[in-house]
């Protein structure tokens, strides 16, 4: 597949075709539970929308692509849903680790879930706190835009929040519109690809050494075989649909 946008080209290849180590672009996707994080990641990487997923335990997905002639590996960390508690938020250890690992962060809420919108401000603060001196690029995604009758977050509120946080905003539907989802991730990838790759020998840029940790120690290990796992789930979903059709 070849995509051209703003003079930047991205060509996707099956990961198995290449063995040479590439530059990696690492993206962490964070947000409340059930907002569609997995659906968005899978849609971006495979073009497919699969309705049902197991509850996310923190999978790492990757895909080989070519950006402006440079072969890169896009790695997307799908984090478990953060939840609001009386004391703040929970399930944040994994989220914090993902932020420190990532080159960029995608914050996600669902337009059908007011609490997921209210959570964004706290998650953004967590990104600021976890990033030290090297704040990564952040984009805000409002998902499930197709569910008009269930909307609980007004369409003007997303852009206002994004403006306050200083990040780009996209309202998307993982289920209905691949181009919207792809466009949002694509622009982020192009932005990251234009940045110079980190020098492996460079010293930490902050007293906490967050930058150095981001590149090395805190890389979460994949908890599933990524594309293999995706293919297995897709086959399961297909065969379930075939069973439903044949039994009607
Ligand atoms: N209608 C509609 N449903 C969606 C959309 N995106 C996701 N869903 C549904 O929302 C539910 C939750 O999606 P997931 O991708 O599992 O959400 P998640 O944020 O990864 O959830 P956790 O693993 O609990 O953190 C699933 O039933 C999806 O089919 C969308 O754009 N439109």
- The CATH number of residue 67's host domain is 3.40.50.300
pLDDT at residue 185 above 80? yes
CB distance 43 to ligand 1 below 6 Å: no
* Alpha-carbon span 53 to 61, nearest angstrom: 15
Using only C-alpha atoms, the chain has a radius of gyration, in whole angstroms, of 18
Closest residue by Cα to atom 23, ligand 1, is 56
Domain assignment present for residue 134? The answer is: yes
Most confident of 58-72, 130-144, 184-198, 231-245: 130-144
Give the pairing type, strands 59-67 and 83-85.
unpaired
Domain assignment present for residue 7? The answer is: no
Residue 95: what are its φ and ψ, rounded to 5°? -65, -45
Domain assignment present for residue 234? The answer is: no
Q: Is the ipTM of this complex over 0.90?
A: yes
**Do residues 63 and 45 lie in contact, with contact meaning Cβ atoms separated by under 8 Å?**
yes
pTM of the model: 0.77
pLDDT at residue 181 above 90? yes
Counting from 1 in the atom list of ligand 1, the atom nearest the Cα of 80 is 25
CA of 55 to the centre of ligand 1 (A): 10
* Full residue range of the structural domain in which residue 127 is found: 24-194
Sign of the dihedral through C-alpha 24, 174, 99, 196: positive
pLDDT at residue 202 above 80? no
Between the alpha carbon of residue 121 and those of residues 13, 117, 167, the distances in Å are 36, 8, 12
CB distance 227 to ligand 1 below 6 Å: no
Domain assignment present for residue 239? The answer is: no
Domain assignment present for residue 78? The answer is: yes
Q: What is the pLDDT of residue 133?
A: 81
Domain assignment present for residue 214? The answer is: no
**Do residues 193 and 67 lie in contact, with contact meaning Cβ atoms separated by under 8 Å?**
yes
88-125, pLDDT tens digit by residue?
555 577 888 899 999 999 999 999 999 999 999 999 99
Count of alpha carbons within 13 Å of 198, Cβ hemisphere only? 20
Between vectors from CA 120 to CA 195 and to CA 165, what angle results, nearest 5°? 50
**How many domains, in total, are found in the chain?**
1
Q: Give residues with Cβ within 8 angstroms of 77, minimum separation 6.
A: 26, 27, 28, 29, 58, 59, 60, 98, 101, 102, 220
Counting from 1 in the atom list of ligand 1, the atom nearest the Cα of 35 is 19
Domain assignment present for residue 213? The answer is: no
CA of 174 to the centre of ligand 1 (A): 8
CB distance 175 to ligand 1 below 6 Å: yes
Domain assignment present for residue 248? The answer is: no
CA of 219 to the centre of ligand 1 (A): 25
């Amino acid at each position: 597949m070849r995509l051209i946008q703003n003079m930047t080209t991205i060509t996707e290849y099956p990961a198995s075709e290449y063995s040479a180590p590439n530059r990696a672009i690492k993206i962490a996707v964070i947000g409340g539970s059930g907002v569609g994080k997995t659906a968005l990641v899978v849609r971006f990487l495979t073009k497919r929308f699969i309705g049902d997923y197991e509850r996310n335990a923190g999978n790492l997905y990757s895909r080989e692509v070519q950006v402006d002639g440079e072969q890169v590996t896009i790695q997307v960390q799908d984090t478990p849903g953060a939840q609001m508690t009386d004391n703040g938020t929970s399930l944040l250890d994994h989220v914090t680790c993902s932020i420190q690992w990532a080159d960029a962060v995608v914050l996600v809420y669902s337009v059908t879930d007011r609490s997921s919108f209210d959570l964004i401000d706290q998650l953004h603060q967590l990104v600021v706190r976890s990033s030290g001196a090297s704040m990564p690029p952040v984009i805000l995604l409002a998902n499930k835009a197709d569910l008009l009758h269930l909307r609980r977050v007004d369409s003007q509120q997303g852009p206002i929040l994004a403006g306050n946080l200083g990040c780009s905003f996209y309202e998307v539907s993982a289920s209905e519109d691949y181009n919207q989802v792809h466009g949002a991730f694509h622009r982020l990838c192009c932005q990251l690809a234009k940045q110079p790759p980190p020098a492996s020998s460079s010293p930490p840029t902050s007293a906490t050494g967050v930058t150095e940790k981001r590149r090395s120690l805190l890389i979460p290990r994949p908890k599933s075989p990524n594309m293999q796992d995706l293919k297995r789930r897709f086959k399961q979903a297909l065969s379930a649909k075939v069973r439903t059709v044949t039994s009607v």
